[in-house]
Amino acid sequence: MGLFTRVRGKVEVFSVIHGGEPLTVPGIVTGAAYAAGDAFGTKFGLRAPKEGVIATANFLDHDNEGLPKELWLLRADFTGTADNAAFALTDGDLSKVVGVIVFDTFRAANANRVGGATPALYYKAPSGLLYCQFVTRGADNIAAEKLPEFYLVVT
């Protein structure tokens, strides 16, 4: 059985794209001063069904900054931008983009925040992987032991 099981009838089956637990945004350096437009962590891949819809996405802001983030998703491998450098894609890589999930509204929970999105983003990932990189649109400075996490739900 893979990530999805086909069911006949009126039952719809959905799967969390990565197995259910939040994932830490990879490659973030704590105590580093980010600028708006910087890559926020390093490029990474997510195992995904070859075709699907990202129904919901959540960004868990343990550092309580509430600064807008974007998650760029591509259907094929691309040249990632180094963490804390100005995010840039080549023209060739731009044609691989399946969408950008924007986290720009956060809800405070005292010492942390959650940013949610409901992108309803259809994608095709021929290799069974989505290639991703976060971009910050604010001036982050992440404290030690406060690394952000995220998760996506695919239907």
Q: Tell me the C-alpha distance between 31 and 129, whole Å.
A: 31
DSSP output for 71-99: EEEESS---PPPTTSB----HHHHTTEEE
Find the distance separating the first CA and the last CA of the chain, reported in whole Å.
Answer: 16
Per the structure block, which two tokens stand in for 75?
């259907």
Confidence of residue 155 (pLDDT cuts 50, 70, 90): confident
**Averaged pLDDT for residues 106-134:** 95
- CA-wise closest residue to 136 among 22, 28, 18: 28
CA atoms in the 13 A half-sphere facing the CB of 146: 17
CB 125 within 8 A of CB 74: no
- Structure confidence at residue 15 (pLDDT): 42
Q: Is the pLDDT of residue 79 over 60?
A: yes
**Averaged pLDDT for residues 27-34:** 94
- Structure confidence at residue 13 (pLDDT): 40
**Averaged pLDDT for residues 13-40:** 81
Query: Who wins on pLDDT, 17 or 62?
Result: 62
Q: Is the pLDDT of residue 41 over 50?
A: yes
CB 56 within 8 A of CB 101: no
Q: Is the pLDDT of residue 18 over 90?
A: no
Burial (CB count within 10 angstroms: exposed 0-12, middle 13-18, buried 19+), residue 7: exposed
3-state secondary structure of 50: coil
**Averaged pLDDT for residues 128-147:** 96
pLDDT, averaged across the chain? 88
The region of weakest confidence among 17-21, 50-54, 113-117 is 17-21
Q: Tell me the C-alpha distance between 138 and 12, whole Å.
A: 38
The region of weakest confidence among 39-43, 44-48, 74-78 is 44-48
